[in-house]
Structure 1
Amino acid sequence: MNRRSFLLAGAAMLSLLRPVAAQQPDHSMHAMPGMDMGGGDQTLTAAPALPEGAPLRELPRLASRSQQAGVFEAELTAAPASTSFVPGLETPILAYNGITPGPVIEVFEGDRVSITFRNRLPDQESTIHWHGLPVPADQDGNPVSPVLPDAEQTYSFEPPKGSAGTYWYHPHPHGKTASQVYRGLAGAFLVKAKDDPIPASYGDTLFVFTDLRLAADGTLPESTMADLMNGRVGDHVLVNGQKNPVLTVAVGEFRRFRLLNATNARFLRLSLAGASLTLIGSDGGLLETPVADADELFLAPAERLEIVARFDKPGTMSLRTLGYDRGWMGPNRPEEAGKDLLTVRVSEDRGPSQPPLPGRLRPIPDLGPPAVTRRFVFTETMSMGAGGMEMGFLINGAAFHMNRVDVVSKAGQVELWEIANQADMDHPFHLHGTQFQIVERESEGKVTKPAFRALKDTVNVRRGETVRILLRQDLPGPRMYHCHILEHEDLGMMGLVNVEA
């Protein structure tokens, strides 16, 4: 569908805007509910302001009930809960073990992990997907293996040596992922290395970015048609569940930060003016060598980064959003630039001496030449149908179907995948079961190579761009690949690769 037709169709849809839930039937074209003109108009009132400036809180860890070294056993329950983002207002949410973000899971490479998941969501299937972790297919939390309401499932796996990194966990039920995540179901999963090359004196501070939209009464409004088209973007970006918290550091100090974009659809282009930033890690863990003098950071939905920040001058600085054009359908495009997400106060007291960052962090082996090349084309469709405006987000011309295998692959086989975005907005591409390496990007005939080698499981593919990646699936079974704008995933921009032994 060409851009002009798509935008005209979108304008027609938005003229009939109604709140709708981000749960659609499994068809290649999705009729948008709420299009009739008989319903009452939604009364808009001012949303409450969130308090700012509290000390950054450390997210609680999930406790292991095992007393045995190298064994992590715990329980996670997804259930309705409530929290107070604004004093005096209770907000109904969904939460893991009663809190959002969910408790941080922290294990070491080689640990035997066993987590019992209890689904206490009324009338909704759910799963836990261990995003980025190389776990067996039947433990991956795919939508093909849902956990029914009031049922439970124990997920068991062992993060292998070399898998140390910043991961996360979230639901992955078919058609309901977006609403369950924006209502609070997401948490960080850290795999640690016993021989971590980053000096321990740098600390290890986690920033989990989530997105929040509140109604005047403190509730979470239902998603709108604009949310379905663009992905749900809230009014507030929270860090560890707080708005613009404060972190205090010493002048001259080195600090290790892990950044996780756990939002449904917000693209984060960030700066921390006044600090010296060195990139040390990506989705799949540490880089081969540090990349110094990072002027800005970029996190598409679901991406992670690890950095080391050095604070050379006392004073106050902000982790601030910069503008980014990810493409937008219709009016009311949110303002991305100029949001202060975190305030850093650098004291005049100099901390103790710290060792320098190593010049080499770890090897990342070359995967070698591919045996197979595959191509995946992202497109959007929109038209008027019998049920109203119909809309689809497609891969290779088809929407996801639970009973269809789109690709058959072989375990241990190196493959080159081309992801071509012929749609009118950016789409972050995520692959389950493995990490991949970016080979190159191509846009308007210009090919660019990555500046460094990294392991990734999510990559942003800009509109009009083709991204080529090298990958190898080592574990057999069904694996998903999809856009990680969660509303687009729910609306069909997903496929299934079956990896044969």
Structure 2
Amino acid sequence: MYRRTFLTGLAGLAISGPAAAQMMHDMGNMTGHDAHNMMPMAGNKLVLPEGQPLRELPRLMNQASEAGLFKARLAAEPGLVRFAEGLDTPVLLYNGGNPVIEAHEGDRIEINFKNGIPGEPTTVHWHGMPVPADQDGSPMEPVVSGSERIYAFDLPEGSAASYWFHPHPHGLTAAQVYRGLAGIFLVKPKSDPIPAEYGDTVLMFTDLRIAEDGSMPASNMMDLMNGRVGDHVLVNGQKNPALAVAKGEKRRLRLFNATNARFFRLKFENAAMVLVGTDGGLIEAPVAVDELLLAPAERVELIVSFDKPGTARLTTLDYERGWMGPGKPEEAGMTLLTANISEKPAPAMPPVPVKLRTIESLAKPTVTRRLVLTESMKGMEMEFLINGATFDMTRVDEVSKVGQVELWEIVNQADMDHPFHVHGTQFQIAEHEKDGQVTKPSYRAWKDTVNVVAGETVRILLRQNLPGPRMYHCHILEHEDLGMMGTVDVQA
């Protein structure tokens, strides 16, 4: 559809379904300042501290004494965070923060989860992880407020990767994530080809919109159309934290885009980046990169070499992902992380391995599916659709079989980029096509989220190895809440 047609209805735009209920809830609790922030992206001048030492995210402790078992309690609850001096911001947190779970291939996982969010259902979705369908935290299995459930699953061989977890209740996902609910799940291999001398540093990107009184304003109409983009980008909950490194040091950095809707086109000034991993773990061989794009929900693993004394900054470049209406945020020129490189040289570091692992190409597909992403105005209501339909929890959109290799064509006929995520498996990107030009990936990788540029078709190869219903959706979370999601029933 054409942008000029779509924007004619903005003045009287209405939102229907669960997202409308959440928005009315938010508006009912608004202060006068909140109401001001319903206007498009006014932006405030609240200053957040910068340059503090990068802090590690808290670890979720293993309560099991038995080898091969990770057992813990996890609670989603309201909390307070002091982002700016003298101001406490009400948020939602897991165990009081954004915890990291670390386990190994072959481990058994048992998480006793409690929903402590007043008046709202929630789930825990183990994003990208090969878990059984009934343990995946889908919107079909909500955990009601005040209740508990156990998530239990095994980590198969070959599943080592950088995963994360977040809520997935239909219509409430976007709000619960931007209010703070996200965590990291690291699955380690039994033998890691990346030298231990590089360390293993988690960088979780979130963004924050905070009013001058410290409150978190409700989402506005522009947020629902474009996805909520905050005024401040945080790394492990901090604005532009500092990382101390020595000259010649190499660091393994895991980058997680845990924002609702922000796209990061990243460059490391005064440092060299080598890509070694994506959503589904290590790639086959390292690839030197000057910059990279990290869409919502995507992850990468980098080896960064800090060879020159001074300052190395992880910065953002401009990226045009499509924006409807006023208030387009400035994407370029942000500094997300500053590495301070000392004159003192680091101990000799081993080189980056030439070979990381072997990724076998999936077999020839036996089924082809075509999923078309569009936007629509239905009367004065806005919808985001897949194959002309919005999400319905009672409907099965596609039927598949365990072990069946499929080719999915994701066709973006909308006005903006849509990062496309499939539950329950990792896929391989076969090709991108836009304006009649076809491009193949320059390296083979496992992915669970791929950005589909406006006007582009992306073809992916996938195979589901576990039965049950699985979601597929846009990972701009507001678009997911507004219907850009479907269900594939994987039959044994």
What TM-score results when the alignment is normalised by the length of structure 1? 0.93
Alpha-carbon shift at residue 25 of structure 1 (Å): 6.6
What are the Cα deviations for residues 218-238 of structure 1, in whole angstroms up to 9, with x where unaligned? Answer: 010000000000000000000
Q: 1:6: Cα distance to partner?
A: 1.0
Aligned mate of 2:191, from 190, 195, 200 = 195
**Per-residue CA distance 1:13-41 (angstroms, 9 max, x = gap):** 47x9x9x9982379xxx99998xxxx999
Q: Which residue matches 1:214?
A: 210
Q: 2:471 is matched with which residue?
A: 480
Asked if structure 1 preserves the Cα contact closer than 8 Å seen for 2:34 and 2:217, the reply is no
What is the one-letter code of the residue matched to 1:42? Answer: A
Counterpart amino acid of residue 399 in structure 1: T
Structure-1 residue corresponding to 2:374: 379
Which of 232-241 and 347-356 deviates more? 347-356
Match of 1:75 in 2: 73
- Alignment match, 2:343: 348
User: Root-mean-square deviation (CA), in Å?
Assistant: 2.1
> 1-side partners of 2:408 and 2:201: how far apart?
34
Aligned to 1:464: 455
Q: Contact 1:22 / 1:178 at 8 angstroms: preserved in 2?
A: no
Moved more, 178-187 or 354-363: 354-363
Change (3 A) 1:40 1:286: closer
| 2:2 counterpart residue number | 2
User: Quick check: 2:33–2:211 contact (8 Å CA) kept in 1?
Assistant: no
Distance of aligned partners of 1:40 and 1:459 in 2 relative to their CA distance in 1, 3 Å threshold? closer
Q: Cα gap change, 1:361/1:25 in structure 2, threshold over 3 Å: closer, same or farther? A: same
Q: CA-to-partner distance for each residue in 1:153-198, whole Å, 9 max, x for gaps?
A: 1001111111111000000001000000000000111000110000
Q: What is the Cα deviation at residue 2 of structure 1?
A: 2.9
- Distance in 1, matches of 2:20 and 2:56, equals 37
Corresponding residue to 2:243 among 238, 241, 247: 247
> 2-side partners of 1:126 and 1:497: how far apart?
21
Whole-angstrom CA distance in 1 between matches of 2:474 and 2:45: 30
The one-letter amino acid of 1:171's match is P
Distance 1:330 1:357 in 2: 45
Counterpart residue identity of residue 319, structure 2: Y
Q: Give the corresponding residue for 2:328.
A: 333
Alpha-carbon distance in 2 for matches of 1:71, 1:9:
54
- Alignment partners' CA distance in 2, 1:81 and 1:41: 19
Residues 229 and 329, structure 1, Cα contact 8 Å, conserved in 2: yes
Identity %: 64
In 1, Cα distance between equivalents of 2:144 and 2:35: 33
Whether the 8 Å contact between 2:161 and 2:280 is mirrored in structure 1 is yes
Cα distance, 1:216 vs. partner? 1.1
Q: Distance in 1 between matches of 2:430 and 2:35?
A: 48
Distance 2:306 2:465 in 1: 42
Shift of 1:42: 3.1
Q: Is the 8 A contact 2:167 2:181 kept in 1?
A: yes
Give the counterpart letter for 2:169 in structure 1. P
* TM superposition shift of 1:91: 0.4
Q: Distance in 1 between matches of 2:33 and 2:278?
A: 47
Which AA in structure 2 matches 1:473?
Answer: Q
Letter in 2 for 1:407: E
SS of equivalent to 1:178: helix
Aligned mates of 1:499, 1:43 — CA distance in 2 = 46
Report if the CA contact (8 A) 1:267-1:324 is conserved: yes
Question: 1:489 maps to which residue?
Answer: 480
Q: Which residue of 2 aligns with 1:426?
A: 417
**How many Å separate the matches in 1 of 2:183 and 2:293?**
20
The separation in 2 between residues aligned to 1:233 and 1:175, in whole angstroms, is 18
Cα offset for 1:402?
0.8
What is the distance in 1 between the residues matched to 2:187 and 2:33? 50
Alignment of structure 1 residues 257-406 onto 2, 5 Å? 257-292=253-288, 294-383=289-378, 385=379, 389-406=380-397
Q: Deviations over 1:242-298 (max 9, x none)?
A: 000000111111110000000000000010021111100000000011112x10021
Query: Aligned ranges for residues 48-67 of structure 1 at < 5 Å?
Result: 48-67=46-65
Q: Which amino acid aligns with 1:244?
A: N
Q: 3-state SS of the aligned residue for 1:42? A: helix
Determine if contact 1:47/1:214 at 8 Å carries over to the other structure: no
The Cα shift of 1:432 comes to: 0.2
CA 1:13–1:331: 2 relative to 1, 3 Å: farther
| 2: CA distance, partners of 1:40 / 1:304 | 35
Q: 2:92 aligns with which of 91, 94, 115?
A: 94
Matched, 1:113 2:109: yes
- When the two structures are aligned, how many residues end up with a matched partner? 483
Say if 2:35 is the partner of 1:42: yes
Instruction: Give the Cα separation in 1 of the matches to 2:7 and 2:442.
Output: 35
Measure, in 2, the Cα distance between the counterparts of 1:246 and 1:434: 35
| 1:144-159 map, 5 Å | 144-159=140-155
Q: Partners in 1 of 2:270 and 2:36 — Cα distance?
A: 43
Which residue of structure 1 lines up, in the alignment, with residue 125 of structure 2?
A: 129
User: Which residues of structure 2 form unaligned runs of 5+?
Assistant: 38-42
Counterparts of 1:235 and 1:491 in 2: how far apart (Å)? 23
TM-score of the pair, normalised by structure 2? 0.95
Shift in alpha-carbon separation, 1:135–1:254, aligned structure 2, 3 A: same
Once the two structures are TM-superposed, the CA of residue 210 in structure 1 deviates from its matched residue by 0.3
Q: Which letter maps to 2:147?
A: A
Q: Give the structure 2 partner of residue 182 of structure 1.
A: 178
